[in-house]
Chains A and B, each alone.
Chain A
């Protein structure tokens, strides 16, 4: 299988600070890869190494089959990117900024500017100086510059930053369309798992410079904790009944019973039957899935303990 992005033990050290360590990841053609991590985890450093902006102190990065080196012209004709906060020349209009970006990608036809302005909803602002744009429209302009030359690979650092909810949905749909209908590959970083989980085919989680975990959407779903929440009029008695039947039960202060066993989660009707037969019928039964952010923080916290330990 040919990989669009491939890193081999990639590392970056700034003096005593090891920003990225032993990072080996692979991104397949046509997928959206979500690169997740807290602020300062090493996401942007990794992206800058992938783009040949900073030199790795260890390992290698290969993008579209070309070994990335500082100052090279390859493979950037087929790569679009947006790193950190998008910036533009404030004295130029939106159109002029895109025209400048077009000339930095020789071979891009002049019509591409009109097309991307329309695609990213920038038409009302195309004659406005970018210094007067809102943060959200700056973000759109950054995306427009990344997509202008119809690249095969799009590398985006926190693309939803500063966008309103409608803008976030729009970008999500755009990225899905680019991969599903146009065969593009997207590598996007974020610190919000919920945002990444909605579009990414695979997710890589980076923490303190290490790639903690790589998983696909199904694995992500399976790894999240689930529990069965039971409410009834006599929780103490119900707890005794459930425990006697071999369930591990936790009684919360508000009287909710929490069961984490796989059997209870998969067959809540059996729990219901057990309680009805014991004359403590439940008033409510609900399977709760751990939130994505809780899962992310749990994973990161556990790994941090492991590293510190």
Chain B
């Protein structure tokens, strides 16, 4: 435990000093602020008319987010894509920077388990996911209150929050394989490139009806769905996270580290 405590200090210190959590938190604020801006424009006819295309988009958003129920639905969908990208950036940084900055060699011939080093990094990612989700959730509710959306109730708020949290959990799980991509790709490029590909494939999977079995489209479907997620989809997401962690561990234990 003392070993893990020391490694957590190292990981949290690096993250804190890098200001990466701050930048990703600021990035996550864009989502609720953007939705709120569009709703604000849609409600202001004169401004909407002046802004032309932006106004048209705003009206479209307003159509699907005119009250608390619709707003929370829209909000959850944006969380599924936004948190995914922000977490991919975070995990790429946590793992990939060791290779890009050449610091990985200082982690290899040391008297601590490599699995403990990886566990500390994964715990940091989990904490990062909680931070981003909380920032988005709190700012999202504040925006909704500022916009004075109709149709709010405690049950709706709790249900909406629960769905956002569940979506964020699923997103966190499907992001874990990107630790392996950052390690095997020895940097940021491979995981970021694959993240774009995963999102495109996720949309395609939804279109052709395979959305509930493709790991990266399952959070997206959950965000849109009215009914509970099928258990098989939940298991696919859990398995994806577990495989991602295992692949990362295997690679760190077995691969030649020649950089």
Bound Cα distance A142, B18 (Å):
21
Q: Is the interface of A mostly helix, strand, loop or mixed?
A: loop
Interface size on A, residues (CB 8 A): 33
Instruction: Give every chain A residue within 8 A of B107 (Cβ-Cβ).
Output: 104
* Cβ A48 vs Cβ B258 within 8 A: yes
Name the interface size band of chain B.
20 to 34
Q: Does A251 contact B (CB under 8 A)?
A: no
Among the 9-residue stretches A85-93, A197-205, A208-216, A258-266, the one with 4 or more Cβ atoms under 8 Å from chain B is A85-93
Q: Does B141 contact A (CB under 8 A)?
A: no
Say how far B10's CB is from chain A's closest CB, in angstroms: 5
* Cβ A106 vs Cβ B106 within 8 A: no
Bound Cα distance A90, B97 (Å):
11
* Cβ A87 vs Cβ B102 within 8 A: yes
Q: Does B232 contact A (CB under 8 A)?
A: no
Instruction: Give every chain A residue within 8 A of B252 (Cβ-Cβ).
Output: 71
Instruction: Give every chain A residue within 8 A of B6 (Cβ-Cβ).
Output: 103-104, 106
* Cβ B102 vs Cβ A104 within 8 A: no
Bound Cα distance A117, B105 (Å):
21
Instruction: Give every chain B residue within 8 A of A51 (Cβ-Cβ).
Output: 108-109
Instruction: Give every chain A residue within 8 A of B102 (Cβ-Cβ).
Output: 84-85, 87
| A76-B111, A77-B111, A87-B102 known; A54 vs B256 contact (CB < 8 Å) | yes
Q: Does B254 contact A (CB under 8 A)?
A: yes
* Cβ A104 vs Cβ B10 within 8 A: yes
Q: Does B7 contact A (CB under 8 A)?
A: yes
Q: Does B204 contact A (CB under 8 A)?
A: no
Q: Does A296 contact B (CB under 8 A)?
A: no
Chain B positions 92-120 with a Cβ under 8 Å from a chain A Cβ:
101-103, 105-114
Bound Cα distance A70, B249 (Å):
12
Say how far A87's CB is from chain B's closest CB, in angstroms: 4
Pick the most buried of A45, A70, A99, A104: most chain B CB atoms within 10 A of its CB.
A104
Instruction: Give every chain B residue within 8 A of A71 (Cβ-Cβ).
Output: 114, 252-254
Q: Which one of A73, A85, A90 lies within 8 Å of B112 (CB-CB)?
A: A73
Say how far B100's CB is from chain A's closest CB, in angstroms: 10
Chain A positions 46-92 with a Cβ under 8 Å from a chain B Cβ:
48, 51-55, 70-71, 73-74, 76-77, 79, 81, 83-85, 87-92
* Cβ B106 vs Cβ A101 within 8 A: yes
| A92-B14, A96-B17, A106-B6 known; A76 vs B257 contact (CB < 8 Å) | no
* Cβ B14 vs Cβ A89 within 8 A: yes
Instruction: Give every chain B residue within 8 A of A70 (Cβ-Cβ).
Output: 253-254
* Cβ B258 vs Cβ A104 within 8 A: no
Say how far B241's CB is from chain A's closest CB, in angstroms: 22
Known: A48-B258, A89-B17. 20 other contacts (CB 8 A): A45-B258, A51-B109, A53-B109, A54-B258, A55-B256, A70-B253, A70-B254, A71-B254, A73-B110, A73-B113, A76-B109, A84-B102, A90-B101, A100-B10, A103-B6, A104-B111, A105-B110, A105-B112, A106-B3, A145-B106
23 contacts between A and B (CB under 8 A): A48-B257, A53-B109, A70-B254, A71-B252, A73-B113, A74-B111, A79-B109, A81-B109, A84-B105, A87-B101, A87-B106, A89-B17, A91-B14, A91-B18, A91-B19, A99-B13, A100-B10, A100-B13, A100-B14, A104-B106, A104-B111, A105-B110, A145-B106
Q: Which residues of A are in contact with B by a Cβ distance under 8 Å?
A: 45, 48, 51-55, 70-71, 73-74, 76-77, 79, 81, 83-85, 87-92, 96, 99-101, 103-106, 145
